[in-house]
Chains A and B, each alone.
Chain A
Amino acid sequence: MRFKSLLMLIVAAGLTAGAQANPYETTLKNGLRVIVKEDRRAPTAVQMVWYRIGSMDEVDGASGVAHVLEHMMFKGTPTVGPGEFNKRVAAAGGRDNAFTSRDYTAYFQQVPKESLPEMMALEADRMRHLNVDAKEFEQEIKVVMEERRMRTDDNPQAKLFEQMNAVAFQAHPYRRPIIGWMNDLENMTAADAKAWYDQWYVPNNAYVIVTGDVDHKEVFALAERYYGPLEGRALPPRRQQIEPRQEGTRRVSLKAPAELPVLIMGYKAPILRDIERDSDPYALEMLAAILDGHDAARFNKKLVREDKVALSANFSYDSTGRGPGMLYLSGTPAEGRTVADLEAALRGEIARVQRDGVSEPELKRAKAQLIASEVYNKDSMFGQTMEIGQIEAVGLPYQKLDRMLEKLQQVSTAQIQAVAKKYFDDDALTVGILEPQPLDGKPRRPAIATRH
């Protein structure tokens, strides 16, 4: 579950009105922050509870425990039986689920607004009173292994991405997959999940976001009532784990049943830490929009449509995160073209920006898209809640989302050319290649003739 880029993060926030108070925020005595975004367009509400704990906080041998605990969070407390949480949400006309990332774990319910108090009671209950039952664990760990088979083991592209990260990062915990290595899942016990819960699931390590047809004062009162009695506790110290500087290109290849090769080129990249002082992440975001922001953006126009060297060519940038950032160039070569051809073509496009820069119309176009998508993303209450949650999860204040948008609008073509020169360094590059294998182990039959 990788991150959305910064661009995607902020467009849905809907916070450009600057001085207005909405969203509202309070902090309970136990350290729990409560953020309320009033949006009265429909009689519904979203509650999300975000814990500042993700797979990057795991240790070797116990990879995947953050995600396993997420599954166990639905398995009951002394007052709410196993499976009862889902039942109560469903009875209230709601939908619920949860997700785990490298940086955080989050839980949500979308409900008719009348059911919000019950949802808050349920989330408060499992924040401190989870029953990690060994029998339930025994079944659920199998479910997680099936999830791993589905998402990763039988998905060559996901597997390649997993292996890329395992090679690109050596010291930093981003090298471990969120879902965990299969062998770690096999060795995991209910006690591991319980220890994780006891250590990290406390109000002072969480924040609650409510969006919808609600009054923030009422939500604050409900939060005080349900979450207020929970006790905070000091968190264990978290050790900073800094990835040493990469000093040379790394290459990894994966053989898997597939038809098409895949190439991923990942470069170590800066991460947005200081909204005012940092400038490179903003420039890289706009570069991403110019290279891959619409159907006639450079990658698709040149590599797919004109030169026909690629079936697809993509650019993505992880600009926010608790850990280090990465830039990814990726794609699939067209029939008759090789991964080496595609790598050369992708490098060629970067070289073109380094040499000639980007044009003013291209930048203007990217900025116009940004402004429009900011409006479009207000169409979803869930999306608006996600934006606040994600930016907070990486340690940046949601109140500054509008400022980040301004900073993006201020990026110049000269800055874009400068970051293109600065960050595509071969010594900071990891290349991943999927080498397709026939399903039956026999040589491929000749491809259907197609002209290119």
Chain B
Amino acid sequence: MKFLLTVALSVFLSQSALAGVKIEHWVAASGARVYFVESRVLPMLDVQVDFAAGSMFDPIGKSGLAALTRATLDNGAGKLDETAIAEQLADIGANLGGGADTDRASVALRTLSARDKREPALAILKTVLEAPLFDATVVEREKGRTIAGLKEAMTRPDSIAGKAFWAAMYPDHPYGRQATPESVATLTRDDLAAFHARYYSAANASITLVGDLSRSEAEKIADTLTSGLAKGEPTALPPPPGQGKWSLTQLAHPATQAHIYLGLPAIERGNPDFFALLVGNYTLGGGGFVSRLMKEVRDKRGYAYSVYSYFAPLRQAGPFQIGLQTKRSQAKDAINVARDVLAGFLKDGPSDEELAAAKANLTGSFPLRLDSNKKILDNVANIGFYGLPLDYLDHYQDKIRAVTAADIKAAFGRHVRMADLITVTVAAD
């Protein structure tokens, strides 16, 4: 929870990849699934360990547990207190990162690959994964910081809108339940320890290694990293979310701009409609400066700086979402324009020219998706965590080329229904 003072550059850097990424996959002695890409370009190593331990597994009334467990994982482990962990990592120039989202908790290590750097860094990672202390004093302190952050977020129009949008989309599913100051206040260090014991297990883990290593070294590392984890079993999922039903939420706020979200639950990871929706959405609102939403809302009318649409497939049906911000007095007009654009697209699909442009960009930009270790790591960790086919990247461009306008219309018809569209506005007049 860093409060950045800097204004971010308006640089859109998205995820990544490159034909010819060779993913090696095996199962460690512990039962954890391992994904490895050897890359000798730079003397460095990235290791990401993902557990199915995201907020969707928060018990009722204890929303925020998954996030707090992950946040305090490296605040003391084994014989090391939080200062020793941070100092020892810094001494060898290693970085420990990661976080928790709805589906997963990630722990990511970046280290130099030289043995005298790599080995102590991996030893710390192992300790953090298998023996976090959850010291009561530290947990109370971090609870306080989390609660303060949540209260701050409850004053921000974009956060308010985002929370209300997820609550409206998922009224009966864990995706719709979010941490509150009250729910976090109830958490104890024993809750965290129990959550860790249950979900941070080998059977529930996927490990991704990218960098300056041989296969045999990677095998040893994966075995050692997970040998101290409980064997566990794969986590059972809750019943899938419902389809989403029309609702309108309008929240007051003194901001100068209204924040507007439209959407509904759509597809899960691995859904066969994914490529048709991806290609179609490029024309609708995914294609940066060249989408229909950008043209109509921003270029023609000057209503918004940022307007977009996307599908965010999750373990279970993740959202289709349109978002924009506009001067509060013109919120209604902007919503109408966005709805018209969506309705028009659902009715007619993309033109031949639009479809060709979408395919040209999505296939042509493929090398940009894999031109760094970090991008390879992100892609391969996704493949591993969500159990996508190992040749997913190899066939990515072909799958895009194969999409037809009819596929797009049909897929949008199945997943995006105007009548069910959920709308949230904050600070709209």
Q: A162 — nearest CB in chain B belongs to which residue?
A: B7
A146 touches B325 (CB 8 A): yes
Quick check: B257 and A157 within 8 Å, CB to CB? no
| Residues of A149-193 contacting chain B, CB below 8 A | 149-154, 157-158, 161, 178
Selected from A83, A138, A149, A161, the residue in CB contact (under 8 A) with B5 is A161
A355 to B4, CA, bound (A): 29
Q: Select one of A83, A93, A381, A382 contacting B365, CB under 8 A.
A: A93
Decide if B6 is an interface residue (CB 8 Å cutoff).
yes
Check if B126 is an interface residue, CB within 8 A of chain A: no
Bound-complex Cα distance A410 to B140 (A): 41
Q: Is A450 among interface residues, defined by CB-CB distance under 8 A?
A: yes
Cross-chain contact A372 with B152 (CB below 8 angstroms): no
A112 touching B373 in the complex, CB below 8 Å, given contacts A86-B289, A141-B302, A259-B151: no
Closest to B93 in A: A372
Contacts known (A2-B6, A450-B185); A149 close to B327, Cβ less than 8 A: yes
Query: Is A295 touching B82 in the complex (CB atoms < 8 A)?
Result: yes
Contact with A along B368-398 (1 / 0, CB 8 A): 1011111000000000000000000000000
Q: Which residue of A lies closest to B304 (CB)?
A: A146
B125-156: which have CB < 8 Å to A? 138, 140-141, 143-145, 147-149, 151-152, 154-155
Question: A259 contacts B365, CB within 8 Å?
Answer: no
B364 to A, closest residue via Cβ = A93
Contacts of A178 in B (CB 8 A): 7
Complex: A44 Cα to B370 Cα, angstroms: 10
CB neighbours (8 Å) of A93 from chain B are: 360-361, 363-368
> CA–CA, A352 to B374, complex, Å?
39
Q: Are B288 and A142 in contact (CB under 8 A)?
A: no
Q: Are A335 and B3 in contact (CB under 8 A)?
A: no
A382 to B374 CA separation, bound complex (whole angstroms):
13
Contact between B305 and A259, CB atoms less than 8 A apart? no
A371 contacts B93, C-beta separation under 8 Å: yes
Interface size on B, residues (CB 8 A): 89
A372 and B302 alpha carbons, distance in the complex (Å): 45
A99 touches B303 (CB 8 A): no
- Is residue A248 within 8 Å, beta carbon to beta carbon, of the partner chain? no
- B155 & A41 in contact (Cβ 8 Å cutoff): no
Q: Spot the interface stretch: B30-38, B200-208, B292-300, B409-417.
A: B292-300
Interface segment among A220-228, A272-280, A308-316, A395-403: the answer is A308-316
Residue pair B148, A260 in contact (C-beta under 8 Å): yes
Nearest to B180 among chain A residues (CB) is A448
Residues of B within 8 A of A436 (CB): 155
Contacts of A152 in B (CB 8 A): 7
Provide the bound-state CA to CA distance between A93 and B363, in Å.
7
- The answer to whether B83 has its CB under 8 Å from any CB of chain A is yes
Contact of B3 among A138, A295, A314, A365 (CB under 8 A): A314
Which B residues lie within 8 Å of A312 (CB)?
A: 1-3, 145
Q: Is A129 among interface residues, defined by CB-CB distance under 8 A?
A: no
Q: In the complex, which residue of chain B has the Cβ closest to the Cβ of A366?
A: B90
Across the interface, do A381 and B371 meet the contact criterion of CB distance under 8 Å?
Answer: yes
Stretch at the interface among A23-31, A198-206, A235-243, A326-334: A326-334
Q: Report if A1-B9 is in contact (Cβ < 8 Å); known contacts: A295-B86, A365-B87, A369-B90.
A: yes
Q: Let me know if A375 and B42 touch, CB within 8 A.
A: yes
Residues of chain A within 8 A (CB-CB) of B152 are 258-260
Chain A interface category by residue count:
35 or more
Is B357 within 8 A of A91, CB to CB? yes
Cβ proximity bits A364-378 to B, threshold 8 Å, 1 near / 0 not: 111011111101101
Nearest CB on A from B274, distance (A): 20
Alpha-carbon distance A97/B182, docked complex (angstroms): 42
Are A150 and B305 touching (Cβ within 8 A)?
A: yes
Complex formed: what's the CA distance from A317 to B20 in Å?
A: 42
Contact A449 B185 (CB under 8 A): yes
Residue interface bits B82-117, CB-to-A below 8 A is 1, else 0: 110111011111110000000000000011100001
Q: Is B321 an interface residue (CB 8 A)?
A: no
Q: A143 to chain B: which residues have CB within 8 Å? A: 298, 302, 304-305
**Chain A residue, CB-CB nearest to B289:** A86
Q: Give the docked Cα–Cα distance between A260 and B255 (Å).
A: 17
For residue B271, CB closer than 8 A to chain A, the reply is no
B7, B154, B185, B370 interface centre (most CB from chain A within 10 Å): B7
CA distance A431 to B118 in the complex (A): 43
CB contact under 8 A between A296 and B87, given known A97-B10, A97-B11, A450-B144: yes
Assess whether A358 is interfacial by the CB under 8 Å rule: no
Task: Give the contacting residue for A90; candidates B7, B12, B112, B287; CB below 8 A.
Answer: B287
- The answer, yes or no, to whether B60 is at the interface (CB within 8 Å) is no
Q: Is B41 close to A, CB under 8 A?
A: yes
Residues of A within 8 A of B236 (CB): none
Q: Which B residues are CB-close (under 8 A) to A335?
A: 144, 147-148
Q: Tell which of B140, B252, B299, B303 touches A450, judged by Cβ atoms closer than 8 Å.
A: B140
Is residue A452 within 8 Å, beta carbon to beta carbon, of the partner chain? yes
Given that A87-B357, A151-B7, A294-B89 are known contacts, is A259 also in contact with B155, CB under 8 Å in the complex? Answer: yes
A42 interface residue (CB < 8 Å to B): yes
The answer on a CB contact under 8 Å between A112 and B365 is: yes
Q: Tell whether, in the assembled complex, residue A94 and residue B367 are in contact, meaning their CB atoms are under 8 Å apart.
A: no
Contact A112 B112 (CB under 8 A): no
Q: How far is the CA of A381 from the CA of B2 in the complex (A)?
A: 27
* In the assembled complex, B276 has its CB within 8 A of some CB on chain A: no
A451 pairs with B372, CB closer than 8 A: no
Residues in B with CB closer than 8 Å to A257 are: 155, 253-255
Do A382 and B256 touch (CB < 8 A)? Answer: no
In the complex, A420→B93 CA distance in Å? Answer: 25
Residue in A closest to B144 when the chains form the complex, CB atoms: A450
B13: interface (CB < 8 Å): yes
In the complex, what residue of chain B is closest to A106 when comparing beta carbons? B9
Any B CB within 8 A of the CB of A380: yes
B124 close to A (CB within 8 Å): no
For A381, the chain B residues whose CB sits under 8 A away are 371-372
Assess whether A369 is in contact with B372, with CB atoms less than 8 Å apart: no
Is residue A264 within 8 Å, beta carbon to beta carbon, of the partner chain?
yes
Cα separation A159 to B44 with both chains bound (whole Å): 39
User: Which residues in A have their C-beta under 8 angstroms from that of B303?
Assistant: 142, 146
Which of B9, B85, B94, B185 is most buried by chain A, counting CB atoms within 10 A of its CB?
Answer: B9
A152 to B182, CA, bound (A): 30
Residue of B nearest to A43 (CB): B367
Q: Are B365 and A139 interface neighbours, CB within 8 A?
A: no
- CB <8 Å contact, B3 and A334: no
Q: Does A140 contact B (CB under 8 A)?
A: yes
Of B157, B287, B368, which contacts A44 at CB under 8 A?
A: B368
A110 at interface (Cβ–Cβ under 8 A)? Answer: yes
Extra contacts, 8 of them, besides A379-B374, A381-B372 (Cβ < 8 A), are A2-B7, A82-B299, A259-B155, A296-B85, A296-B87, A311-B148, A375-B44, A381-B371
Report 18 cross-chain contacts, Cβ distance below 8 Å, ordered by A residue.
A1-B6, A42-B371, A44-B367, A83-B289, A86-B288, A90-B361, A112-B365, A143-B298, A257-B155, A258-B155, A259-B155, A260-B151, A295-B82, A296-B90, A314-B3, A372-B111, A447-B151, A450-B147
Nearest first, the 3 A-B pairs at minimum CB distance are A93-B364, A372-B93, A142-B302
